[in-house]
Amino acid sequence: MNDLMRKQAFTALVWILLLSMPYWLPFFGGYTALSSRMIVLALAAMGLNFLLGFTGVLSFGHAAYFGLGAYGVGLTIKYLVPSTALGIVAGVLIGAVAAMIIGALIVKLRGVYFAMVTIAFGQVFFFIAFRWNSVTGGDDGLSGWKRQPLDFGIGTLDILGNDKAFYYFALALFAAAAVVMGLLLRSPFGRTLVAIRENERRARFLGIPVEQHIWLSFVISCVFVSLSGALYALLNNFADPRALRWDQSGDFVIMAVLGGMRSFWGPLIGAAIFVVLQDRVSSMTENWQAFIGLFFVLVVLFFPRGVLGIIRRKAAA
């Protein structure tokens, strides 16, 4: 089997598993909401990885856009209009605008400096959500709202009462985002990003305005993360200030690196492992994060290309 066929077979397998997940996960002790959690967080990790894995820029502040998506949808439904669709649009727009402004301010920074400043900006949003009790609910989070059934004109889809309906709704948006991401990465624009990752100086001297392209990649990445944040809030009917905090950003980075940040599906695998470990180990011990940390360290030390990197190497051998 050649390389292209192997890739296509893998992609087909991924979609089959995702489409049937609510039906097979229960055999392994999972439940539908866990499936939803998995693809929603996978979307965030893949969104982050657009910037990290395919542009070579590390952000430790992507939770800010995740949280903005979450509060955007929550606040819209609670105070403005009881519509899931409009709430998602609002959440993504707020995340996108914030990313455009912050991206423009930090795009000249590189490496550790970029990462540090993204943390700092992320924490600004965390403290706003944490302190502004009257609007955001402060430390208690934003509750008292629920996702609304989707009205398609010809009929409504009850994503509130029906777990599986919400999963397939989230999967549809995940699929749309994955297709857009995949097409972008295969395009001339996507190749300029990889060029920047591989050799910024050469990219610049091929006539690519590097800062402009990193800015675009940052904004695109944040749009996907905001969408994920909006879905996450809808899943829980709740927006949590901790979704904006820097350790949440770190979790996204862990998912991407764990699964393999040089591969398109790596962050999905990473998110799946993360979510399952969290679900399983947290029912046994409060210190579940120590186990994820240990697992992460082992993968980084021995398999720097992530879990998918191991599978790839096995398949190639």
Partner 1 sequence: MSLLKVQNVSRNFGSLIAVNGVTLTVEPGELRAVIGPNGAGKTTFFNLISGFFPPTSGRILFDERDVTDMPVHRRVAMGMARTFQITEIFPELTVGENLRIGVEAAAGFRLRPWLSSRENALLSARIGELMEMGGLAAKADRLVGELSHGDQRATEIMMSLSLNPRLLLLDEPTAGMGDQETYDITQLIRRLHQSQKLTIVLIEHDMRVVFHLADRIMVLAEGAVLAEGTADEIAKDERVQAAYLGKAA
Nearer to partner 1, 210 or 256 (CB): 210
| Positions of E strands within 137-199 | 150-151, 156-157
Residue 315 beta carbon to partner 1: minimum distance, rounded to whole angstroms = 19
Tokens at 177, concatenated:
């985002």
Residue 92 beta carbon to partner 1: minimum distance, rounded to whole angstroms = 18
Nearer to partner 1, 211 or 279 (CB): 211
CA–CA gap between residue 64 and residue 126 (Å, rounded): 7
**Contact with partner 1 (CB under 8 A) among 117, 175, 194, 276:** 194
- Binding positions for partner 1, 208-267, rule CB under 8 A: 208-210, 213, 216
Nearer to partner 1, 156 or 187 (CB): 187
Q: Is 204 in the site for partner 1 (CB under 8 A)?
A: yes
Residue 221 beta carbon to partner 1: minimum distance, rounded to whole angstroms = 15
Q: Is 206 in the site for partner 1 (CB under 8 A)?
A: yes
| Positions of E strands within 59-157 | 150-151, 156-157
Q: Is 108 in the site for partner 1 (CB under 8 A)?
A: no
Of 212, 246, 216, give the one whose Cα is nearest residue 116: 246
Number of residues that bind partner 1 (CB under 8 A): 23
CA–CA gap between residue 219 and residue 104 (Å, rounded): 10
Tokens at 81, concatenated:
């209009």
Q: Is 188 in the site for partner 1 (CB under 8 A)?
A: yes
Nearer to partner 1, 217 or 228 (CB): 217
Tokens at 201, concatenated:
């100086």
Residue 258 · residue 299 · CB < 8 Å: yes
CA–CA gap between residue 94 and residue 154 (Å, rounded): 30
Of 42-50, 92-100, 147-155, 187-195, which part binds partner 1 (CB under 8 A)?
187-195
Q: Is 128 in the site for partner 1 (CB under 8 A)?
A: no
**Contact with partner 1 (CB under 8 A) among 4, 201, 316, 317:** 201
Give the three-state DSSP class for 153.
coil
Q: Where are the alpha helices (DSSP H) in the chain?
A: 3-24, 32-55, 63-75, 84-106, 111-131, 133-136, 163-185, 188-198, 200-204, 210-236, 246-259, 266-282, 288-302, 306-316
**Contact with partner 1 (CB under 8 A) among 27, 28, 205, 302:** 205
**Contact with partner 1 (CB under 8 A) among 2, 153, 207, 283:** 207
Angle at 8 between CA 2 and CA 10, to 5 degrees: 100
Nearer to partner 1, 33 or 208 (CB): 208
Q: Is 183 in the site for partner 1 (CB under 8 A)?
A: yes
Residue 109 beta carbon to partner 1: minimum distance, rounded to whole angstroms = 17
Angle at 181 between CA 153 and CA 60, to 5 degrees: 110
Residue 197 beta carbon to partner 1: minimum distance, rounded to whole angstroms = 9
Pairing of strands 150-151, 156-157: antiparallel
Residues binding partner 1 (CB under 8 A)? 183-184, 187-189, 191-192, 194-195, 198-199, 201-210, 213, 216
